[in-house]
C-alpha cells in the first residue's frame, strides 16, 4: 500500500500497515457522530456541528477471549467515554487539541499501547475536514499525573472596593499570608437583556476590569485560562480572573450576564475553599464558606 493510499484509507488499514512482524489486537470505534460546539471562528461559537470520531486502540496481550470476562478487556465504552469526557471538559478551538487529549486519556488505561484517532467535521465544507494522529506510550506523558493546584480563596472586589484607599493594604495582607488567592473584579455593569451579544459584552467588560485592577496594582496578574490559574496558585502569584475565554470555552457555564452567578460557577471550577465579598453583601452560597468584607474593614 502506498503512502498516499494509506493516508486516505480507514484507520484499521493504517494500523495493520504499522503493525510490524507481530500484529497487535485492536479495538475500534468508527464513525461515532456527536453534535459539538467547537472551532476557532466566530461563526462556530454558539452553535453546534457534527463531528465524526474513529478510534483504533492497539492493546497488550489479555485473557479476555479465554475468560469471556468484560473486565479483562478494553471496553468499547472506554473509548466513547474518553471522547465524551474531553468534549464535556471544556470548549476547544482545535480538532488537534481534542484528538491529543482523547489519545492521552486512553493511554492512561493499562491495556492501550498505541492509539489512532481521526476526527472529522461534517458540516464545515463540501467534504469532511479532519485531523488524524497516532500516539503511543513513548510519545506522551500518559503515566505522569499533573500536580493538583491548591484550593484558593476567591476575593470578589466590588466596584466601590476598587476605589478604596485601603485596597493596596488589603492586597498586602494576601501577599503576607501566602494563601493562594484569585481576585474577581466587579465590572459595575448596566443591566442588559439576556442575549449572546450582551453576554459577550459583559465578559469583555469584566476582562477590562481585571486589567484595570492590574494597572492599579502591578502585583496583580490578569489570567484567562485554567492553566494560567493553576500556575499562579502553585507559584504564589496574585491572580485576577479575566473570565471571557474560560466562560465562552466551557460547556457548563451559566448563561448569565450577572458576574455574581459567574463567580459562584468559577468557585466550583477552581474548588475554592471560601469566597470573600469585598465592599458588598455576600450572597447565599450553599456548600462554600462566604463572608462580606466591608470597606471600613480595609482601613
First to last CA, the chain: 76
Q: For the chain, what are the domain ranges?
A: 3-136, 153-298
167-192: average pLDDT: 84
Q: How sure is the predictor about 162, in pLDDT bands with cuts at 50, 70 and 90? A: confident
Question: Between 18 and 192, whose confidence is greater?
Answer: 18
Residue that the C-alpha cell 463567580 belongs to: 263
31-51: average pLDDT: 93
Question: Does position 67 have pLDDT exceeding 90, yes or no?
Answer: no
pTM of the full predicted structure? 0.73
Question: Does position 184 have pLDDT exceeding 50, yes or no?
Answer: yes
Question: Between 167 and 15, whose confidence is greater?
Answer: 167
User: What's the mean pLDDT when you consider all of the chain?
Assistant: 86
80-102: average pLDDT: 94
Active site residues: 44, 121
pLDDT at 116: 93
Q: Please spell the DSSP secondary structure of 58-110, one letter per residue.
A: EE---SHHHH--GGGS--HHHHHHHHHHHHHH---S-HHHHHHHHHHHHTTSS
Question: Does position 76 have pLDDT exceeding 80, yes or no?
Answer: yes
Q: Which three cell numbers stand for residue 81?
A: 467515554
Question: Does position 173 have pLDDT exceeding 60, yes or no?
Answer: yes
pLDDT at 145: 47
Q: Of 142, 206, 211, 149, which Cα lies nearest the Cα of 181?
A: 149
Task: Compute the chain's Rg from CA coordinates.
Answer: 24
Question: Between 49 and 250, whose confidence is greater?
Answer: 49
% of the chain residues with pLDDT over 70: 86
pLDDT at 148: 67
Domains 3-136 and 153-298 fall in the same CATH topology: no
Q: What digits encode the pLDDT tens for the residues 223-235?
A: 998 888 988 998 8
Q: What digits encode the pLDDT tens for the residues 193-218?
A: 667 888 888 899 999 999 999 999 99
pLDDT at 146: 44
Q: What digits encode the pLDDT tens for the residues 277-286?
A: 999 999 988 8
Q: How sure is the predictor about 143, in pLDDT bands with cuts at 50, 70 and 90? A: very low
Q: How far apart are CA 133 and CA 116, in angstroms?
A: 6
Under CATH, to which class is 153-298 assigned?
alpha beta
69-95: average pLDDT: 89
Q: Which three cell numbers stand for residue 298?
A: 480595609
249-254: average pLDDT: 88
Q: What is the CATH number that goes with domain 3-136?
A: 3.30.1130.10
List all residues 6 or more positions away from 141 whose beta carbon is below 8 Å from its beta carbon: 104
Q: Which three cell numbers stand for residue 157?
A: 472586589
| Chain centroid offset of residue 66 CA | 40
Amino acid at each position: 500500500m502506498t503512502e498516499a493510499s494509506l493516508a486516505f484509507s480507514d484507520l484499521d488499514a493504517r494500523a495493520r500497515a504499522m503493525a510490524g512482524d507481530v500484529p497487535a489486537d485492536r479495538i475500534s470505534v468508527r464513525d461515532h457522530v456527536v453534535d459539538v460546539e467547537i472551532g476557532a471562528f466566530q461563526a462556530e461559537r454558539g452553535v453546534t456541528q457534527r463531528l465524526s470520531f474513529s478510534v483504533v486502540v492497539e492493546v497488550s496481550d489479555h485473557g479476555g477471549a479465554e475468560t469471556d470476562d468484560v473486565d479483562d478487556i478494553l471496553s468499547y465504552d472506554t473509548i466513547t467515554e474518553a471522547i465524551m469526557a474531553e468534549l464535556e471538559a471544556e470548549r476547544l478551538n482545535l480538532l488537534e487539541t481534542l484528538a491529543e487529549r482523547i489519545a492521552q486519556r486512553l493511554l492512561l488505561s493499562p491495556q492501550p499501547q498505541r492509539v489512532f484517532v481521526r476526527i472529522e467535521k461534517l458540516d464545515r465544507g463540501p467534504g469532511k475536514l479532519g485531523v488524524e494522529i497516532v500516539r503511543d506510550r513513548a510519545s506522551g506523558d500518559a503515566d505522569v499525573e499533573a500536580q493538583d493546584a491548591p484550593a484558593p480563596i476567591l476575593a470578589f472586589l466590588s466596584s466601590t472596593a476598587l476605589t478604596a484607599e485601603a485596597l493596596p493594604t488589603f492586597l498586602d495582607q494576601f501577599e503576607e499570608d501566602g494563601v493562594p488567592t484569585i481576585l474577581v473584579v466587579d465590572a459595575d455593569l448596566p443591566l442588559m437583556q439576556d442575549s449572546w451579544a450582551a453576554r459577550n459584552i459583559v465578559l469583555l467588560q469584566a476582562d477590562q476590569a481585571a486589567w484595570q485592577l492590574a494597572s492599579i496594582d502591578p502585583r496583580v496578574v490578569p489570567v484567562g485560562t485554567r492553566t494560567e490559574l493553576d500556575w499562579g496558585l502553585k507559584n504564589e502569584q496574585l491572580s485576577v480572573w479575566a473570565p471571557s475565554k474560560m466562560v465562552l470555552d466551557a460547556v457548563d457555564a451559566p448563561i448569565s450576564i450577572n458576574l455574581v452567578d459567574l463567580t459562584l460557577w468559577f468557585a466550583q471550577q477552581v474548588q475554592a475553599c471560601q469566597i470573600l465579598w469585598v465592599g458588598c453583601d455576600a450572597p447565599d452560597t450553599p456548600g462554600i464558606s462566604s463572608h462580606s468584607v466591608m470597606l471600613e474593614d480595609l482601613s
